[in-house]
Each structure stands twice: as structure tokens, then as C-alpha cells.
Amino acid sequence: MTGPPFQSALVEDAVASAKAAAEGYAGGVLRSDKLSVGVYVLAAGASDPQQPHKEDEVYYVVRGRSRFQIEGAEQGVGPGSLLFVRAGVDHRFHDISEELVLVVFWAPPHD
């Protein structure tokens, strides 16, 4: 395994980086050869333009509220929600009623 045996980050620092990025995403907040962690921020009323990814993903909702659509199904999400999405599956957040702050875990690491 490469890289340091321990890493840490502050979510609010990653949120600031994500807000400064055109796509609202701060990647590589934490990273190893098997997993990466990023932070995705969507403003209230925003559209989520993402496309299916080649990695499995887990989203953790830090704050905010929206609806989550995946393969024709949908559900409400809010603080504390955990969502798993298999690689290649179409999904997105919509009807974002409060700024959505998501910690995203990728396996294998997202480029």
C-alpha cells in the first residue's frame, strides 16, 4: 500500500474548496490506492449534472435536504442519510431545498 498510514481533513475546509470549484466538488480530500474521499456541494435550487461513474460511491449527507433519484426510484435525503450507488448506475440529486453538503467515498479511487 502506498501513501501515509493516516490522513485527516476538516469537512468545512473541503466545503470551502468545493464551493470555489466550478463543479462544486473538492476531490482527493483523503486518498489511498483503494479509496478516495471528496466533498460535493449543491446550492438550494441547483441542478445535479453528474453522469454515472466507473467507481462505487457512498454519499453521506452532512447537511441539507433534497430528493435522490436512482434508476427510476427516488427518496428524500437529509442530514445523516447514507446512500450507496453501484458503479455505472444513473443517479442524481434534485429538488434541493437546502444547500446540500455531501461527503463522497469512492472505491476504487475517483480520478
Percent with pLDDT over 90 in the chain: 94
Residue 111 has a pLDDT of 76
pLDDT classification of 13: cutoffs 50, 70, 90: very high
pLDDT classification of 3: cutoffs 50, 70, 90: confident
pLDDT classification of 33: cutoffs 50, 70, 90: very high
Task: Tally Cβ neighbours within 10 Å of residue 61.
Answer: 20
- Domain 11-107: CATH superfamily is Jelly Rolls (2.60.120.10)
Give the integer Cα–Cα distance in Å for 5 and 67: 36
Mean pLDDT (the chain, rounded): 96
pTM listed for this prediction: 0.95
Residue 1 has a pLDDT of 57
57: CB partners within 8 A, 6+ apart: 84, 85, 87, 104, 105, 106
Per residue in 64-92, pLDDT tens? 999 999 998 999 999 999 999 999 999 99
Per residue in 48-65, pLDDT tens? 999 999 999 999 999 999
Of 67, 60, 76, which is closest to residue 14 (Cα–Cα)? Answer: 60
